[in-house]
Structure 1
Amino acid sequence: MTAVSVGDEIAAREFPISRADLVRYAGASGDFNPIHWNERFAKSVGLPDVIAHGMFTMATAIRVVTDWTGDPGAVLEYSVRFTRPVVVPDPDGATLTVGGSVRSIREDGLLEVDLTATVDGQTVLAKARAVVRPPRTG
């Protein structure tokens, strides 16, 4: 890999999200809120359908960066603003599309990366930014 420059793009990836993914995440996180698995309940509280956990969405989005750097430990800071829920209809699920670009290179060599995260062309995470060590070379 060559040196990283400001403006370099991180290739966009698509991440399918199914109801089964949400159930597995609920088990791992302990967050069994029925809005994440029970369609009837989700609709009864005004949601369009079951929605993905915010932290699941956030964790899925950062995968483009951890894959790009080759090291999950390279992510030193990460923040997002949730702009809309990721609706996960049955049986088709949803597809989260995530890409990024190098916003800046700090004096210490760390990279500031901006991410875009959309579902069906609509932004689901805004101000998604990470501070990371540069990708591994060789």
Structure 2
Amino acid sequence: MSTTPSTPSTPSTTPAAVRSFSEVSVGDALPATTVHVDRARLVQYAGASLDRNRIHWDEPFAKAVGLPDVIAHGMFTMGSAVTLVTAWVGDAGRVVEYGVRFTRPVVVPYDGGADIEVSGVVKSVDPEAKRVTVELTATAAGEKVLGRALAVAVLD
């Protein structure tokens, strides 16, 4: 049996278009997105983040400590939400501030996982500094999981 080595794909070197400050107005809605998370992704995230707390992968343990089931890492949820802004801006390096309050955990059932639905709206613009503040809304299973979620980006 012979095998032919596969040719790795070459990543694009074309830079993403960066949003211009002149294109943005207060009240503009960002395109909503859904981030799916399952147990396998939680285990991968636990390894990458070194947060191996058993509440993120061990269902009996999570239930024993009073949780309804395994829950996603708060930082996973936070990071998933801000990707809406980085994609909209076109350059993650332009996001200069980001903060949230964790209001509810994202429960991740064994069968099917969970979806985190993220939307955003431009809350304010600062023409002098060319700063744009985006208010994010993140929900899972119909419940708000992040509060006071604000990201600030600097545009040209």
Tell me the TM-score range normalised by the shorter chain: over 0.9
Q: Structure 2: which 5+ runs fail to align? A: 1-18
| Matched residue SS, 1:41 | helix
CA contact (8 A) 2:129 2:154 kept: no
Q: Which whole-Å deviations, capped at 9, do the CAs of 1:1-22 have from their partners, x for residues lacking one?
A: 6611010000111110111111
Provide the residue aligned with 1:120 in structure 2.
141
Q: TM-score normalised to the size of structure 2?
A: 0.84
Identity %: 56
1:18 aligned partner: 38
Work out the CA distance in 2 between the residues paired with 1:43 and 1:18.
Answer: 17
Residue 68 of structure 2 is aligned to residue 37 of structure 1: no
Q: In structure 2, what residue type is equivalent to 1:14? A: T
Alignment of 1:14-93 (within 5 A): 14-93=34-113
Distance 1:63 1:41 in 2: 30
RMSD: 1.2
Amino acid of the structure 1 residue aligned with 2:140? V
TM-score, with structure 1 as normaliser: 0.94
AA aligned opposite 2:136:
L
**In 2: Cα distance, 1:60 partner to 1:19 partner:** 15
CA distance in 2, matches of 1:77, 1:40: 37
Q: Number of paired residues?
A: 135
Could you tell me how far apart the structure 2 residues matched to 1:53 and 1:46 are?
A: 16
**Bigger-Rg structure (1/2):** 2
Taking the TM superposition and a 5 Å limit, the aligned residue runs for 1:89-108 are: 89-106=109-126, 107-108=128-129
In structure 1, the gaps of 5 or more residues are none
